[in-house]
């Protein structure tokens, strides 16, 4: 008697795409044909547990996974030769305890999940990208090629490029990108001059058509956006005041040789969420003289400070609180500061509390074990990243810029 071939498990990363339903059907048909004994539908978390909007994001992911499981079970019920329980349908959230930004980070979490559940195959939805509406700089398929997993794309029909462009041109993201671009253009010009109006509309249309898909990672909320804009209008004068105050202090230090200049690289863990909030905070810090955000990693901002006063202001978290106020309201702004949470670190000078993860002063690499032993609070060298190039170390491939000097 010949034993039946052993059936394995398959891991399927999912997001809401036009081809997701067809991909689920393809997986069920493959499992019904004897290829797989279990199908694991997983979603990569794009939040950290203490982000202010974690509950809403988790609820949306739970609804998506519930919908996918319902589709799979309905398709299995339509297969005559498959009994209930022959194919296991599993749903899970992956990487919800850390930030995942680069393709290598997603692949590491996916490979760990596959190893834990004895899965040897990954099937990708042809329209899938783990960050939703933003294409990764390094394709996920390329990063997966470095693992032992068998990777293939579901053979389903994907929308044509024309359909996707037409969808972008009529969506709320297009309208939001167009409005913001036009407002910025007219703010720099004369909104009462017909040529500025005409050229502004044309320029904003070009920007919206080309960038609306990648500029926003989610549809603007009609209920939240107006209040966030009002809070942003309150924040602008506060930011200008911080910039003016920092200009005066830094100018005094430069002009007076008796004043201390103590450049250091610092780490501050922030609780503002991902995407636009952390980008807003990182660039606000950079706009303030005396500080420069050079990297975002594991929910930490790595900031170069010129003088101790600037470093103290960073640790006091004024801009972090303002950012939480803009995006989440007054209640979120009352959360403890980085100094109160002891979520800070200094990498250089006599006051150094940590060693910079991943690099040495001579340009070599610090072993991961050494980094963790010497500095248990520092993020691991192979952790999730959304990196801008650090001033004293070249950025690794796949890092993402968050600020511009």
Sheet with 36-44, edge to edge strand ranges: 88-94, 36-44, 8-13, 119-124, 150-153
Q: Are residues 209 and 144 in the same domain?
A: no
pLDDT at 50: 63
Query: Edge to edge, what strands does the sheet with 385-386 contain?
Result: 344-346, 264-269, 300-305, 291-297, 385-386
Asked whether 285 and 320 are in contact (CB, 8 A), the reply is no
Number of domains forming the structure of the chain:
3
Please state, in angstroms and rounded to a whole number, the distance separating the CA atoms of residues 144 and 146: 5
> Are 345 and 353 within 8 A, CB to CB?
yes
Q: Does 58 lie in the same domain as 108?
A: yes
Q: Is residue 144's pLDDT more than 90?
A: no
Residue 99 — very low, low, confident or very high, per pLDDT cuts 50/70/90?
Answer: low
Closest listed residue to residue 23, CA positions, set 127, 98, 104, 114: 127
> Is 391 a domain residue?
no
Q: Are residues 101 and 39 in the same domain?
A: yes
Say what the pLDDT of residue 146 is.
79
- Does the residue 165 lie in any domain? no
CATH number assigned to the domain comprising residue 18: 3.40.50.620
More confident residue, 213 or 252: 252
Q: What is the mean pLDDT of the chain?
A: 77
Residue 96 binned pLDDT confidence (cut-offs 50, 70, 90): confident
- Identify whether residues 105 and 12 lie together within a single domain: yes
397 inside domain: no
pLDDT digits (tens, 9 = 90+) for 162-194: 444 344 444 788 888 888 899 889 888 888 888
Q: Would residue 166 count as lying in a domain?
A: no
Indicate if the pLDDT at residue 49 is higher than 70. no
Local confidence band at 358 (pLDDT 50, 70, 90 cut-offs): low
- List pLDDT tens digits, range 359-399: 444 444 444 444 434 443 433 333 333 333 333 333 333 34
> Are residue 328 and residue 235 in the same domain, yes or no?
yes
pLDDT digits (tens, 9 = 90+) for 69-81: 999 888 888 776 7
Q: In whole angstroms, what is the distance from residue 2 CA to residue 259 CA? A: 84
Query: Does residue 400 lie in a domain region?
Result: no
Burial 166-182 (b: 16+ CB within 10 A, else e): eebeebebbebbbebbb
- 258 and 232 within one domain: yes
Looking at the fold, whether 33 and 143 belong to one and the same domain comes out as: yes
- The answer as to whether 1 is a domain residue is no
DSSP 8-class letter at 292 = E
Considering the domain architecture, whether residues 32 and 123 belong to the same structural domain is answered as yes
Q: Say what the pLDDT of residue 352 is.
A: 86
**CA 392 to each of CA 103, 348, 356, 360: distance values in angstroms, whole numbers, following the listed order:** 24, 12, 10, 9
Among 153, 184, 204, residue at a domain's last position: 153
Domain identity same for 51 and 142: yes
Within-domain flag for 199: yes
The Cα–Cα gap between 403 and 280 comes to 9
What is the pLDDT at residue 399?
A: 41
Confidence of residue 84 (pLDDT cuts 50, 70, 90): low
pLDDT at 268: 92
Quickly state the pLDDT bin for 244 (edges 50, 70, 90): very high
Same domain, 268 and 376: yes
Whether 287 and 345 map to the same domain: the answer is yes
pLDDT for 167 equals 42
pLDDT of residue 276: 81
- pLDDT tens-place string over residues 181-232: 998 898 888 888 889 899 999 999 998 888 877 777 667 777 778 898 899 9
Task: Clarify whether residues 129 and 234 are in a common domain.
Answer: no
In a domain? residue 372:
yes
Q: What is the structure's pLDDT at 235?
A: 94
Confidence at residue 300, expressed as pLDDT on a 0 to 100 scale: 85
For 239, the domain range is 225-386
- Note the pTM of the prediction, 2 decimals: 0.54
Residue 386, Ramachandran bin (φ over 0: left; ψ between -120 and 50: alpha; else beta): beta
């Amino acid at each position: 008697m010949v034993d039946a071939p052993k059936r394995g498990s398959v891991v399927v990363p999912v997001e809401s795409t036009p081809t997701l339903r067809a991909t689920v059907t393809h997986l069920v048909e493959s499992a019904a044909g004897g290829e797989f004994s279990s199908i694991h539908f997983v979603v990569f978390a794009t939040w950290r547990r203490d982000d202010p909007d974690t509950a809403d994001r988790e609820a949306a992911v739970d609804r998506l996974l519930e919908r996918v499981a319902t589709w799979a079970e309905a398709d299995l019920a339509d297969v005559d030769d498959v009994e209930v329980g022959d194919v296991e349908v599993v749903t899970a959230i992956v990487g919800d305890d850390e930030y995942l930004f680069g393709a290598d980070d997603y692949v590491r979490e996916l490979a760990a999940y596959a190893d834990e559940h004895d899965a040897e195959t990954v099937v990708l939805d042809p329209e899938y990208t783990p960050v939703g509406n933003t294409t990764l700089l390094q394709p996920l398929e390329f990063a997966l090629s470095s693992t032992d997993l068998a990777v293939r794309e579901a053979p389903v029909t994907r929308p044509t490029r024309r359909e996707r462009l037409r969808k972008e041109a009529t969506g709320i993201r297009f309208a939001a990108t167009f409005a913001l671009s036009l407002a910025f253009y007219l703010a720099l010009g004369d909104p009462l001059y017909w040529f500025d109006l005409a050229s502004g509309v044309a320029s904003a249309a070009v920007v919206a058509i080309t960038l609306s898909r990648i500029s926003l990672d989610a549809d603007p909320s009609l209920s939240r956006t107006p209040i966030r804009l009002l809070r942003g209008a309150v924040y602008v004068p506060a930011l200008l005041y911080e910039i003016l105050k920092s200009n005066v202090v830094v100018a005094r230090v430069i002009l007076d040789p008796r004043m201390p200049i103590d450049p250091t690289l610092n780490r501050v863990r922030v609780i503002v969420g991902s995407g636009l909030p952390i980008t807003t905070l990182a660039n606000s810090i950079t706009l303030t003289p005396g500080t420069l955000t050079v990297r975002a990693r594991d929910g930490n901002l790595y900031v170069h400070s010129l003088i101790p006063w600037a470093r103290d202001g960073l640790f006091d978290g004024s801009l972090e609180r303002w950012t939480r106020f803009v995006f989440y309201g007054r209640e979120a702004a009352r959360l403890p500061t980085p100094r109160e949470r002891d979520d800070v670190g200094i990498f250089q000078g006599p006051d150094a509390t940590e060693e910079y993860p991943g690099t040495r002063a001579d340009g070599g690499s610090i072993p991961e074990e050494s980094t963790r032993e010497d500095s248990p609070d520092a993020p691991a060298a192979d952790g999730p990243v959304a990196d801008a190039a650090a001033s004293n170390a070249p950025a690794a491939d796949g890092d993402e810029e968050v600020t511009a000097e």
